[in-house]
A = this chain, B = another copy of it.
Amino acid sequence: MKSRIETDGYGRKKVIDACMEPCAIERGMRIIGGKWTGSLIYHLKDGPVRFNDLNRLLGGATKKMIDQRLKALEARGMVLRTVINDRPIAVTYELTELGRSALDILEDLRLWSEKYDIR
Chain A residues close to B by CB (< 8 Å): 3, 5, 7, 10-15, 18-39, 42, 46-50, 53, 56-60, 84, 90, 92, 98, 101-102, 104-106, 108-110, 112-116, 118-119
Q: Mostly helix, strand, loop or mixed at chain A's interface?
A: mixed
**A48-B13, A50-B14, A108-B108 known; A60-B116 Cβ under 8 A:** no
Q: Is the CB of A109 within 8 A of B28?
A: yes
Contacting residue for A38 out of B25, B114, B118, CB 8 A: B25
Residues of B with C-beta under 8 A to A12: 48-50, 84, 90, 92
Residues of B with C-beta under 8 A to A50: 12-14
